[in-house]
């Protein structure tokens, strides 16, 4: 059982810990040790997280918590972002990560469904994301949730050129964009 809740400034340390742990578990192999350290220091710095959390009209951070209220994962949505290729605005699912130890329990599906509901309630017309071309498991997961491949974008680390698939789905409009 997990609880999903919106993250705020009081959650910066939790987001740093779960963000760094999950990213290392899933993607350490595509970076050098120094490249990974620099990427995480930039993406999960106090300042970057504080600025993002305070810009609620632009971003939504969600925490997935276990029964003891310990973070298992998180998601970050960016509101009204142009979809690569078409330029049509939608909600970008920039990050959605769970600890590997929590795989296969349905938590990822629950978190993604919650993200889809929040984006639809915010009045977004579509949800889009990019996924590493090499991450076939994630691609299958998103396809099973109704997202489809609509394009590709370049992506590289300090060690390799990988590329990403852009995936998207249309959303029913049930609400308005956050103010």
Q: Give Cα separations from 136 to 101, 139, 155 (angstroms).
A: 19, 5, 16
What pLDDT is attached to residue 70? 93
Please state the domain extents for the chain.
3-170
The model's pLDDT over 75-105, given as tens digits with 9 standing for 90+, comes to 999 999 999 988 889 999 999 999 999 988 9
- Cβ density class 129-159: b for 16+ within 10 Å, e for less: bbbbeebeebbebbeebebeebeeeeeeeee
Rounded to an integer, what distance in angstroms lies between the CA atom of residue 178 and that of residue 37?
34
Nearest to 144 by CA among 173, 106, 179: 106
pLDDT at 179 over 50: no
Q: Return the CATH number of 3-170, one of 3.40.50.720, 3.30.70.1400, 3.40.630.30, 3.30.1050.10.
A: 3.40.630.30
The model's pLDDT over 1-44, given as tens digits with 9 standing for 90+, comes to 899 999 999 999 999 999 999 999 999 999 999 999 999 999 99
pLDDT at 177 over 70: no
CB 128 within 8 Å of CB 167: yes
What pLDDT is attached to residue 155? 93
What pLDDT is attached to residue 174? 63
Average confidence (pLDDT) over 127-139:
94
The model's pLDDT over 99-113, given as tens digits with 9 standing for 90+, comes to 999 988 999 999 999
Work out the mean pLDDT of the chain and round it to a whole number: 93
Strands 71-82, 59-65: parallel, antiparallel or unpaired by DSSP? Answer: antiparallel
User: Which pTM does this prediction carry?
Assistant: 0.91
The model's pLDDT over 110-124, given as tens digits with 9 standing for 90+, comes to 999 999 999 999 999
């Amino acid at each position: 059982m997990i609880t999903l809740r919106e993250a705020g400034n009081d959650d910066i340390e939790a987001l740093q810990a779960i963000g760094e742990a999950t990213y290392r578990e899933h993607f350490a192999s595509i970076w050098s040790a120094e490249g990974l350290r620099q990427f995480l220091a930039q993406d999960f710095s106090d300042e970057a997280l504080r600025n993002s959390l305070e810009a609620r009209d632009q971003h939504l951070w969600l925490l997935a918590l276990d029964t003891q209220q310990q973070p298992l994962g998180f998601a970050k949505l960016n509101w009204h972002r142009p979809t690569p290729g078409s330029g049509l605005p939608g909600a970008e699912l920039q990050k959605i990560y769970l600890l590997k130890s929590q795989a296969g329990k349905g938590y990822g599906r629950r978190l993604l469904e919650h993200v889809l509901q929040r984006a639809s309630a915010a009045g977004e017309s579509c949800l889009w994301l990019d996924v590493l071309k090499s991450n076939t498991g994630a691609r299958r997961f998103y396809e099973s949730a109704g997202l489809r491949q609509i394009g590709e974008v370049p992506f590289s680390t300090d060690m390799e050129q990988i590329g990403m698939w852009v995936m998207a789905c249309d959303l029913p409009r049930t609400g308005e964009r956050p103010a």
